[in-house]
Amino acid sequence: MEFGRIVVGSDGTPDASALAIAGALAAIGDTRIEIVHAGTEDAVHDSAMADIAATVMMSGIPGWRVGTTSHTGNLADLVAAAAERLDAGLIVVDRGGRRPAHAVHRLSHEAPCDLLVVTPRPHDGSVPYRKIAIATDGSATADRAARRGFDLARSLDATVDLIFVGRRATGELTTTDTVAVYGDDVASSIHLLEGDPAGKIIEAAAGAGSDLIVIGNKGMTGMRGVLLGSVPKAVLDHAAVDVFVSRTIRQLESQLSPGEGGVVDRHGEQLAAFVDDDGATHLLSARCTHLGCIVAWNPAERTFDCPCHGSRFGPDGAVVQGPASRPLPPA
Ligand code: FES
C-alpha cells in the first residue's frame, strides 16, 4: 500500500508519535514525508523547526526523505492545502489532548486525502498496527474505507476485525462480500452488531484488542437507514486508539487502481473518474443528468450511482438505469 506523499501536521510541538508512525508507514512504500508547521512568529518558527529537525534525527527516518515547511495560519487549512498541492495520499496528525482538537475535526471533514489521527505514546519505529478494526455499514462509501483498511492490514501483516452496525441480515451479506472482494488473503473476523454505531464500533474494537480503527469520513447509516454524519466524529472523540479516516467521497486520481472509479476534484469541479484496465483515466462530469446531484462510484456494480433518484451510469457514462435519460458527458 503506497500513500504517494505523507503530510505530517505540527502546531509547533514536534510530535514524535505522529512522525514515528508516519515514518513506519512511509517505509512500506518508500514514501516521502512533508512536515507542515503552523506557527505565528518567526522566532517561534525557528525554534519549532529546530525541534522538528531533532525529532526527525531521533526517529531514525532519513533526513533526505523528510521536507519541512513553516507557515503562519490555521493548522487544518495549511495541512489540507499542502496535501492538495503535493497530491498527498495521507495526512498524519496528533490527536491533541484527550479529545481531538478543532483542527482534527476540521481535517476529518476537509482533508483532500486519508487522515490518520495518532494518540501520543512511546513508539519504537516498528510496525505500528497488528490488529485493525474496520467499521462498515455496507454502503458503497464504507466499502472504500474497508478496502483501504484491508490494503493497510495486508501491507503490515495485520489482522482485521470487520465491524458492521445495522440490520443483521444486511450485515451478513455485505460483510461476507467485503471480505471476499477486498480481504480474502487477510486473517479477519466479522462482528455483526446493532445499536448506536459509534459506541458499538469503539466497544467492539476495544474488545478485539484493535490498535487502529478505520472508518470512512462520510457518515454511516443507523438502523433505519438514516445517515448519521457524526459517527466518524464521535469515533474520533471517544476511541482510545489511533483512527484512520478514509476519504470516501472525493478521491485522488492517483489512488484509483485499474478497474476502479471514483469522484475526484479538478480545480473545484467534481468529476467522475474511471481507470481502465490499461491504466488510462477517463473523466466525465459527476453531475447526474437527471436533476444535477453528484454521483458516487459503486464498486460492487462498477457503476456511477446517483443518490437522489437512483439513476445509474456505466464507467463510460452511458445510462444503465433511469430516471436520467442522457449519459454523463465527458469532462
Ligand atoms: S438527480 Fe440523479 S437521479 Fe435524479
Is residue 329 reached through a cis peptide bond, with omega within 30 degrees of 0 on the bond before it? no
Question: Distance (Å, rounded) from C-alpha 236 to C-alpha 231?
Answer: 9
Which atom of ligand 1 sits closest to the CA of residue 288?
2
* Partners of 224 in the β-ladder: none
Question: Distance (Å, rounded) from C-alpha 46 to C-alpha 34?
Answer: 17
**In this structure, how many other beta carbons lie within 10 angstroms of the beta carbon of residue 12?**
18
Question: Distance (Å, rounded) from C-alpha 46 to C-alpha 319?
Answer: 57
From the CA of 177, how far away is ligand 1's center (Å)? 27
Q: Which of 288, 298, 305, 325 to mutate to test the pocket of ligand 1 (most atoms within 8 A of CB)?
A: 288
Which amino acid does the sequence have at 275?
V
From the CA of 280, how far away is ligand 1's center (Å)? 28
Q: Which of 285, 291, 313, 326 to mutate to test the pocket of ligand 1 (most atoms within 8 A of CB)?
A: 291
Which atom of ligand 1 sits closest to the CA of residue 309?
3
pLDDT band at 72 (very low <50, low <70, confident <90, very high): confident
Predicted confidence (pLDDT) per residue in 165-180, tens digit: 888 888 888 888 889 8
Residue nearest to atom 4 of ligand 1 (CA): 309
pTM: 0.74
Task: Answer whether 295 contacts ligand 1 (Cβ < 6 A).
Answer: no
Q: Where are the domains of the chain?
A: 5-118, 131-241, 256-321
Sequence-separated (6 or more) residues with CB below 8 Å from residue 101: 95
From the CA of 291, how far away is ligand 1's center (Å)? 5
Which amino acid does the sequence have at 15?
D
Helix axes 168-182, 140-156, angle to 10 degrees: 50
Task: Answer whether 291 contacts ligand 1 (Cβ < 6 A).
Answer: yes
- pLDDT score, position 61: 73
Per-residue pLDDT, averaged over 30-56, amounts to: 71
Decide if 5-118 and 131-241 have a common fold.
yes
Give the burial string for 220-234 (b: 16+ CB within 10 Å, else e).
Answer: bbbeeeeebeebbbb
Which atom of ligand 1 sits closest to the CA of residue 293?
1
Name the phi and psi angles at 81, rounded to 5: -65, -40
Please provide the CATH number assigned to the domain covering 131-241.
3.40.50.620
- Residue whose cell numbers read 529537525: 53
pLDDT at 228 over 50: no
Question: Distance (Å, rounded) from C-alpha 273 to C-alpha 97?
Answer: 39
Residue nearest to atom 1 of ligand 1 (CA): 291
pLDDT band at 222 (very low <50, low <70, confident <90, very high): very low
Please provide the CATH number assigned to the domain covering 256-321.
2.102.10.10
CATH class entry, domain 5-118: alpha beta
Pairing outcome for strands 32-39 and 66-72: parallel
Sequence-separated (6 or more) residues with CB below 8 Å from residue 276: 258, 259, 282, 315
- pLDDT score, position 174: 85
- pLDDT score, position 227: 42
- pLDDT score, position 248: 64
pLDDT band at 48 (very low <50, low <70, confident <90, very high): low
